Structure 1
């Protein structure tokens, strides 16, 4: 990995986010979110959008029980 490596922001069905090297094939269950950039840019984007790090199923269970 070099400073010129581009990354994609990816997420899974539980709405958990990560970054993945742009040219690599994604593992099963992960999808590209649409943001591509340097590692720092992608981490900053994830920090802005992923405000509740609980998996979606946990958030939904909590919402239904409240």
Structure 2
């Protein structure tokens, strides 16, 4: 039986989420969010927590300008 690779939920400065192999260095501009597991578990977590897919800068701009 082959073990499934472990993944991390990662987050960038714009608060956009993705999954990344746990055994690889994180790409520049991304940080581990704290969740790890199978790819499916990580994607389920992202689906629960990422409720507004707009980049952070867009959300802040709209908030500052009455949007």
Query: CA RMSD of the aligned region, Å?
Result: 1.1
Partners of 2:50 and 2:63 in 1: CA distance: 18
Displacement, 1:32? 0.1
Unaligned runs of 5+ in 2: none
Unaligned runs of 5+ in 1: none
In the alignment of these two chains, the number of paired residues is: 65
After TM superposition, the score normalised by the length of structure 1 is 0.94
Structure 1 Cα separation of the partners of residues 35 and 54 of structure 2: 21
* 1:11 match: 11
Q: Indicate the residue corresponding to 1:64 in structure 2.
A: 64
Does residue 1:33 correspond to 2:47, yes or no? no
Q: Tell me the distance in 2 between the aligned counterparts of 1:47 and 1:37.
A: 14
Alignment partners' CA distance in 2, 1:55 and 1:11: 11
Instruction: Return structure 1 stretches of 4+ with deviation > 2 angstroms.
Output: none
